[in-house]
Amino acid sequence: MRIIAGTHRGKKLVEYFSPTTRPTTDRVKENVFNLLSNYVDFNQVKVLDLFAGTGAYGIECLSRGAKFVHFNDIDSVALNVIKKNLGKIWQNCRVTQKDYLAALNEQYDLIFLDPPYDSDFGIRAIDAIQQGLIVYETDREFSHPQIIEARHYGRAWIYLIQK
């Protein structure tokens, strides 16, 4: 797993696997950011990486010039992995260990939702988000009136939802 583009392109990231955490592959992440390039100017964007896991989505945004990234995960081991991946070179970010709905108390331009596959956390988070561009990764087909893009990569389904 690595950073794909930006000021830290090629930097390897620490991986973490658990029953509820599975890192997004570089192939899927690269395709997600190719899709996002049609909708997002990464300079000055405020990002929430809600079920952050390794922090790969948010770190990619920082490398591409994001103004601020909030990383949130309930898993303390995942939080340590995020901190290792951020290292000392990153600024303009916050790492929290909150319930996912409690972490939605601010407005963001771009929100990454990559919840545990066997949960309804993603759907509940989408319902709670009032505005922003949502990147939702799940293992099943999903329907929502505000979907603007949908892609399927192996087991992963990626949806862009504009609120």
Which residues lie closer than 8 Å to 138 by C-beta, 6 or more apart? 115, 117, 122, 156, 157, 159
User: Quick one: tokens of 112?
Assistant: 């990454």
Helix (H) / strand (E) element for 62: namely helix 56-63
What pLDDT score does 67 carry? 95
Domain 26-162 has CATH 3.40.50.150: yes
Q: Where are the domains of the chain?
A: 26-162
pLDDT in the model for residue 14: 79
> Residues 6 or more apart from 126 whose CB is under 8 A from it?
113, 134, 136, 144, 161
CA distances, 15 to each of 11, 29, 53, 121, 127 (Å): 13, 14, 9, 22, 30
Per-residue pLDDT of the chain (163 residues; tens, 9 = 90+): 888 888 888 788 878 776 665 667 778 889 999 999 999 999 989 999 999 999 999 999 999 999 999 999 999 999 999 999 998 667 899 999 999 999 999 999 999 999 998 899 999 999 999 999 999 999 999 999 999 999 999 889 999 999 9
Q: What pLDDT was estimated at residue 66?
A: 95
Q: How far is Cα 103 from Cα 106, in angstroms, rounded to an integer? A: 8
pTM of the model: 0.92
